[in-house]
Chains A and B, each alone.
Chain A
């Protein structure tokens, strides 16, 4: 049962344009939602997160939007840069017996074309 879904395996965007990465979830108990970025041969790195009580969080060029009624979140990158080319993982966490259990999506590979 895939509780966190990223339905687009890949996305290509021109440099300077907006990149929009999408993610859907099924578990209403998730209380934090996160995006991670991964370059080849490196570990994932935390990018941005949002609490379930908010609908938007912004950090520089990166903005995450949360639509709880639709169980959907998205990551907007504006403007997109070639260095943003990477795999982006959506993740959601819920308190599980005292620790925050994190569930990851399958990832979306973003290619920013110069």
Chain B
């Protein structure tokens, strides 16, 4: 196992509330990623990080922000949750060969 944990594993919240999801890795990997998985869309990249304090947007970044103050932790924040952000969120780190990623167990988020 790559040593990736996500917390919480499940969360139900209400529209308009802020939500923070945490990804923790023990592998000291430089690159970390946040994806969301939705039926009919597969896995879509939200944000990624290439080092402490170094982050960039993915294809579905609107409504999300991230922070990485330590190598091992990558936080995903929904500033004001909306029902369209109901999804399963996965964190991942790089591996080899190129393109290979290890994924965390996921966080199921429901926004009512």
Using a CB–CB cutoff of 8 Å, the interface residues on chain A facing chain B are 4, 6, 31-34, 41-46, 49, 51, 89, 91-93, 95, 98-102, 104-107
Contacts and interface: CB of A to CB of B under 8 A. Distances in A.
A102 B100 CA distance: 8
A93 B50 contact: no
Nearest to B10: A41
B42 A43 contact: no
A104 B94 contact: no
A44 B103 contact: yes
Given A100-B99, A102-B101, A44 B43 contact: yes
Contacts of B101: 46, 102
Interface in B58-112: 90, 92, 94-95, 97-106
A49 B100 contact: yes
Interface of B: 4, 31, 35, 40-45, 48, 50, 90, 92, 94-95, 97-106
Nearest to B4: A43
B73 to A, nearest CB: 17
B100 A107 contact: no
Given A49-B99, A49-B100, 16 more contacts: A4-B42, A34-B99, A42-B105, A42-B106, A43-B4, A49-B97, A89-B42, A91-B99, A93-B98, A99-B48, A100-B99, A104-B42, A104-B43, A106-B41, A106-B42, A107-B42
15 contacts: A32-B97, A32-B99, A34-B99, A46-B101, A49-B99, A93-B98, A95-B98, A99-B94, A102-B99, A102-B101, A104-B42, A104-B44, A105-B42, A106-B40, A106-B42
Given A41-B106, A104-B42, A106-B40, A46 B98 contact: no
A43 B99 contact: no
A108 B41 CA distance: 11
Given A41-B106, A100-B94, A46 B42 contact: no
A49 to B, nearest CB: 6
A101 B43 CA distance: 13
Contact of B90 (A33, A43, A46, A102): A43
